Chains A and B, each alone.
Chain A
Amino acid sequence: MELFANLGLGLETAFTPINLLYALLGCFLGTAIGVLPGLGPAATIAMLLPATFVMPPVTALIMLAGIFYGAQYGGSTTAILVNLPGETSSVVTALDGYQMARKGKAGRALATAALSSFFAGTVCTLLIALFAPPLAEIALKFGPAEYFSLMVLGLVASIVLAHGSILHALGMIVLGLLLGLIGTDINSSTQRYTFGITELSDGIGFVIVAMGMFGIGEIIANLENEATRDVTIKKVTGLFPTREDFRRMVAPTLRGTALGSLLGILPGGGAALASFGAYALEKKVSRNRHEFGQGAIEGVAAPEAANNAGAQMSFIPMLTLGIPSNPVMALMIGAMIIQGIQPGPSVMTEQPALFWGVIASMWIGNLMLLVLNLPLIGIWVRMITIPYRFLYPIIVVFCAIGVYSLNNAHFDVYLMALFGLVGYVFKKLDCEPAPLLLGFILGPMMEEFLRRALLLSKGDPSVLLTRPISGVMLALAAVLLALVLLPSFSKTREVAFQEE
């Protein structure tokens, strides 16, 4: 069979000592930068691009890919341990992961994240090997109308993310949408809310908002209250998931993998929805939904599986069509051009060793990460037993370095400090930052897709309903919205929402 021949070629390529070595190096570097708050894979790959000049193309891509998914693994570590999501995808992991850590279950949360990520990575490697080209074709069917409706569905689903007042959640989403508007409108080039500040003309970076609101805000709140901040030190119960934990994580991991793989193939921002969607889904279907937000293991397993699946699947548009679905993939394309390979549909046929070698290395990389991460859990967990007066300055310094590395701009560091204050105020007001971040990510995309859909339809909004995929998703969103909002007409709204 051709597939086996191809996979054979891929494994043959990936299993050469030099490629294995660089895969390991990439995974290790990725984990390291993922763990350091703020330093993302994009900045790291950008710094390492010159190093790839001297490598063979496959080796270079294998190493860069290793950094990418290594960072996905490592990013969950800081999200869980110190409530610092450095990536869109780990925002959701922080919700329940950090709560688990506070209850002394950091080791179990970290192991859950690693295991569910590994499972998702394995499934996706197979999916990519089997179906990459047809999946890429399907993704092309998604036009602006479909993307818009998908975002609407995601946003509606996310209302269930909040575990407090629904009004607070809605308020935070709207505020996130507004923050997302900052920058230059791409259709008219009008500057919005930039107040003449050049640094704001391309909008605010996600990492800046996330680090500020989650990380710095949390630190301020912790410093205020000596009693709560050392709670994690006292009782660390078990480093590895119990049998009960395993039982609880199986179904969420499967669902998360499925959702992440579906959304991950969409280059127009599907992956951003994966972990949010998986979390929202679990919160609806889980038997332990009352635990969500207080340290539910399902709330770690599902989004982690979805996030790794989404990350892995985002290679499909890059490898098969040469279309980057995120900044890291754009850098990989740059790395290919540096190597003299023009990315595009013919890479698969003209560079089979490269194409299949990278795919085979994905699975090897995921395995390496699992082996690398499980023993590290003990060390990470010990890290949070460092007295907080030493730990928090370290976190702040790394946040500042990481944010500075995004654009080499001081402005971003000040902005992060500002969002730290905002995050603290919202914590005091019992407003969750997660819905805000979702609105911040989805808002600009929704606007872009809606306006593009309307420009193409000459202003006729009916395309959103008459295009089948788009229509179905809007209908789903309407049903979901009704489910969430209907009880609010009665006096039992708050109670009903808590139970949703």
Chain B
Amino acid sequence: MLTRRGLIAAGATAAMPIWTRAANAQAYPDRPVRLISPYAAGGATDIIARFVGHWLGERLNGTFVIENRAGSGSNIGTEAVLRAKPDGYTLLLASTANAVNATLYPNLKFDYLKESTQIGMIGTLPNVLVVHPSLPVRTLPEFIAYAKANGDKMGIGLPGIGSPQHLSAALFKSMTGLDVPFLQYKGGGPVINDLMGNHVQASFASSASSAEYIKAGSLRGIAVTSAKRLPLLPDLPAIAEVLPGYESVNFYGLSAPQGTPDAIVQALSRELNAGLGNPALTSKLEPTGLAPIPMSPAEFGVFVAAETEKWGKVIKAAGITME
């Protein structure tokens, strides 16, 4: 404990001007850290935030309090973090939404890329293309052929405009030229309900929950949206095997307001990445379907910027917008 705190302080001292040394001599954190999850409690983001927060709290000998600030597709929580004092005591559970919303919402009051400092990636969560079992298709080429011929007889259910599942579907649509109507729902639960009832015929759903329905035979899995196959569903091909270059995953990571002391960012990054290699944390994250991917703050920054650019193009091409 002493040594770790000592190391952080030493690292800080080397990089900081003299007048901040006094402040950093005290170990971080000396009071509770707010980790803001910009979604409602109980969802995947919330669960990931809780486990990661718990882990960081244990490792840094502090308390990480998860605060759910839901609303406006994560914008309310994100803005709250970006406007907070950059002292390391307010952090954001960042996700694909942050990369997507930069383009999706033309009237945002903040610029996530410019106003945040990246700490690191937590992992990615792919989606699965699932269909109702009565649909006469088993493979991805069969699905594409069927949807081309019967586009007017089917619907793809999705959990809301701008959701990662919607983007997976939009990218799929643009790469295949399909013309199947998208039906938006308020969240993933109702989509699964209507898909199981055959009111809609297909959906892109998060991998962890889909795996259960596929296993039980209530839904049929066709392909996964990650670049490679998933250990969870080894029989399902990646969409990229048929449509080279296709990749659409939800990512989760940690961000802080721009200007957060580098020593704190480094400390958080080190402990986060230690956790992503430690079964004590990864086994807990597993049921959410998350595949842990440790990254340095700089790597995550590059990744977030690339995702923002990629989804910006898809969103503009598909004409999706939130006025």
Contacts and interface: CB of A to CB of B under 8 A. Distances in A.
Interface of A: 42, 45-46, 49-50, 53, 140-144, 184, 186-191, 196, 198-199, 201-202, 267-268, 317, 321-325, 327, 330-335, 337-338, 340-346, 407-409, 448, 452, 455-456, 458
A201 B161 contact: no
Interface of B: 40-44, 46-47, 50-51, 54, 66-72, 75-76, 79, 107, 109, 152, 155, 160-162, 181, 183-187, 189-190, 192-194, 196-197, 199-200, 208-209, 211-213, 215-216, 218, 283-284, 286-288, 320-323
Contacts of A334: 41-43, 46-47
Given A140-B197, A334-B43, A343-B209, A198 B185 contact: no
A323 B42 contact: no
Given A187-B184, A199-B76, A342-B212, A46 B41 contact: yes
A189 B212 contact: no
B152 A186 contact: no
A455 B200 CA distance: 11
Given A340-B287, A456-B183, A345 B155 contact: no
B288 A458 contact: no
A463 B186 CA distance: 23
B186 A448 contact: yes
B288 to A, nearest CB: 6
B42 A186 contact: no
Given A268-B190, A337-B287, A344-B216, A49 B196 contact: no
In the complex, the 10 A-B pairs of residues with the closest C-beta atoms, listed nearest first: A344-B212, A334-B42, A46-B41, A140-B197, A345-B216, A331-B42, A143-B199, A189-B161, A201-B72, A324-B189
Nearest to A339: B287
B43 A267 contact: no
A220 to B, nearest CB: 29
Contacts of A343: 209, 212
30 contacts: A46-B42, A46-B68, A49-B41, A49-B46, A144-B194, A184-B322, A186-B186, A191-B323, A202-B72, A321-B193, A323-B192, A323-B193, A325-B189, A330-B43, A330-B189, A334-B46, A335-B42, A337-B44, A340-B284, A341-B287, A344-B216, A346-B212, A346-B215, A407-B69, A408-B68, A409-B76, A455-B155, A455-B183, A456-B181, A458-B152
Nearest to A456: B155
Given A50-B54, A189-B322, A190-B323, A408 B181 contact: no
A53 B181 CA distance: 41
Contacts of B69: 407-409
Contacts of A190: 323
Contacts of A452: 183
Nearest to A196: B107
Nearest to B322: A189
A377 B209 CA distance: 44
Given A186-B185, A201-B71, A334-B43, A143 B212 contact: no
Contacts of B320: 189
A143 B71 contact: no
Contact of A143 (B75, B187, B197): B197
A202 B212 CA distance: 30
Nearest to B215: A346
A323 B197 CA distance: 12
Contacts of B199: 143-144, 456
Contacts of B288: 337
Nearest to B161: A189
A294 B133 CA distance: 54
B151 to A, nearest CB: 11
Contacts of B66: 50
Given A186-B161, A189-B322, A334-B43, 7 more contacts: A188-B161, A198-B72, A198-B109, A322-B213, A323-B192, A344-B209, A346-B215
